[in-house]
Amino acid sequence: QVHLAESGGGSVQAGGSLRLSCAVSGDAYGSYCMGWFRQAPGKEREGVAAVSSDGSTTYADSVKGRFTISQDNTKKTLYLQMNGLKPEDTAMYYCAMNFWERGFIVFVAECLKPNFLDAWGQGTLVTVSS
């Protein structure tokens, strides 16, 4: 069983930066997807950025050029560096993952779909003021 714990959220002014972290504990092996998602009040959860086990990354159009997803496998931690934050980035941010047997081919574009991931953290709140 995998446990995910996000941290790093906070309140910033527009144009500012934050780095979110997601610590992974438990048994996770083989091919995998890991991603960052967000949900604003009254809106559906949406994929922000994701990485697959072959190192491929993908981003939502709304964050391309501003957000960067990365992972430190030795620390079992996923990161989301967010620069140039906008008020519309305000949301609860979640990390999520799913994994399969080694050799399973994962298409990273699928990793931005919430229903493709089955382990979720509790979320960390990001608030961007204008």
pLDDT at 74 (0 to 100): 82
Distance CA 97, CA 28 (A): 9
pLDDT at 93 (0 to 100): 98
pLDDT at 28 (0 to 100): 72
pLDDT at 26 (0 to 100): 86
pLDDT at 27 (0 to 100): 77
pLDDT at 122 (0 to 100): 97
pLDDT per residue as tens digits for the range 25-34: 987 778 999 9
- Ranges of residues in the chain whose predicted pLDDT is under 50: none
pLDDT at 75 (0 to 100): 79
